[in-house]
Amino acid sequence: MKPKICIIISTYNSDITKKLLFSAKNELKRYGVTKAKDYKVPGAFEIPVAIARLAKKYDAFIAIGCIIKGQTANFNLISSAVTDAIMHLSITNKKPIGNSIITLFNRNQASKRYNKGKEAANAVMEVLKIK
């Protein structure tokens, strides 16, 4: 039976997150998963709460977002809070959560990181094999 995979994708910086989503879905297809469910949230900060609300419905998650450094410390605060929350949710629910939330100092760095969707999908599928 194919695992039920959920992808939570931030619409903030959507030109970048859409490419991460494409990368993740292509990798899932390689594993035979063609029906991952997508949910959109406004930003990376909302990803953990969406996962928490859906934790009982899915076997695994892929978190997709993009945080770009601005002029304030918000970049560090958001990045750290989201990463900590995702790890906590994964351990508490005993479900893999592939983290494809990329953090960038500028938009130009994005093109070198689009494969992070693929890497997150691969990580999820490999952890699901552990019994």
* CATH number for the domain that contains residue 89: 3.40.50.960
User: In this predicted structure, what is the pLDDT of residue 89?
Assistant: 98
Give the H or E element holding residue 82: helix 74-93
Per-residue confidence (pLDDT) for residue 72, from 0 to 100: 78
pTM, to two decimals: 0.94
Q: Which residue range forms the structural domain that includes residue 30?
A: 5-128
Interatomic CA distance for residues 14 and 48, integer angstroms:
18
Nearest to 99 by CA among 63, 66, 48, 58: 63
- What's the rounded mean pLDDT across residues 2-31? 96
